[in-house]
Amino acid sequence: MPPEKLPAAVRRMLGLHDDIISGRRAFTPRQAAALEVRGATVYLEGALVGSESAAFYEEFFPSVRVVSPVSVRSALAESDAAEVTLVINSPGGNVATSVAIRDEIVARKSEGTKFTTVASGMCCSAATYVHAQGDRRLVSPLTDYMIHNCATCMYGDAAAFARIAEFLAKADEEYAARMAEISGMAADDVRAAMAAETWWTSDEVVKHGFADALYEPDAPPPDPEMSAEKRRQFIRDQARRLVLT
């Protein structure tokens, strides 16, 4: 059945749950386009999804850029630099994927690699947790940075919804605690910002401790081929294509 003929609820779930689609390749050349490696710099552009969901997008929605734990691992393996710069331009996505990417970064750190993370264009939702893992965290001017409560789509009875609500509340608390530890911001303040779905300017990101400094204005832009307007257009196009509405 063509994907556009699937029920809307099923299309939403396919973007969020790895166990819906299985048995396909976890890393393909098209997915590699969302993770470009230039020497010691790795460019992460696209929504964060599970590796099996990434295979689904590759098969049915090849124009949508997605990033999975497997593709990040492969990209990092291409660079053996002692200091890696990870440039992030992502609307966010799967929380579990952000945790798995964090673990890939931590594994490289244990081998002595230093990471600089740069939020560039858009760094939202689960992508903020990836950005937070840098030894040095930078944010480009005019970057859109957003944190909010965890969310999901599901099907089930009242008991199932009660269980997932409890799980989401726990996930919110854990995320707030970890981001508070990294940023120095009070956990209650992080929770309040998440509950309000807070969008910060680049200066506010630094002010609240989610970045150490602005990306130097006289330095080369993280991706000279993509202007700020093109970044925003990329996000708008991707939002229209993702089957999350």
Question: Taking the domains of the chain in order of start, what are their residue ranges?
Answer: 3-147+199-217+225-238
Q: What is the per-residue pLDDT for 136?
A: 94
Cβ count near 22 (within 10 Å): 9
- Per cent of the chain over pLDDT 90 is 51
Rounded to the nearest 5°, which phi and psi values hold at 18?
-65, -30
The whole-number average pLDDT for the span 158-173 is 94
**Which stretch, 59-68, 79-88, 108-117, has highest mean pLDDT?**
108-117
Q: What is the pTM of this model?
A: 0.73
Distance of CA 220 to the CA centre of its chain: 23
β-pairing, 83-90 with 41-45? parallel
User: Can you tell me the distance from the alpha carbon of 113 to that of 135, in angstroms, rounded to the nearest whole number?
Assistant: 10
Task: Please give the average per-residue pLDDT across 111-122, as a whole number.
Answer: 94
8 φ/ψ sector (left φ>0, alpha ψ -120 to 50, else beta): alpha
**Residue 202 or 236, more confident:** 202
Residue 223 pLDDT class (50, 70, 90 cuts): low
The set of residues, in sequence order, having a beta carbon less than 8 Å from that of 114 and lying 6+ positions away, is 82, 83, 84, 135, 136
Angle of the 69-78 helix axis to the 51-60 helix axis, nearest 10: 90
What topology does CATH give the domain 3-147+199-217+225-238?
Answer: 2-enoyl-CoA Hydratase; Chain A, domain 1 (3.90.226)
Looking at the DSSP assignment, which residues form a beta bridge with residue 66?
A: 47
Q: 29 or 36: whose pLDDT is higher?
A: 36
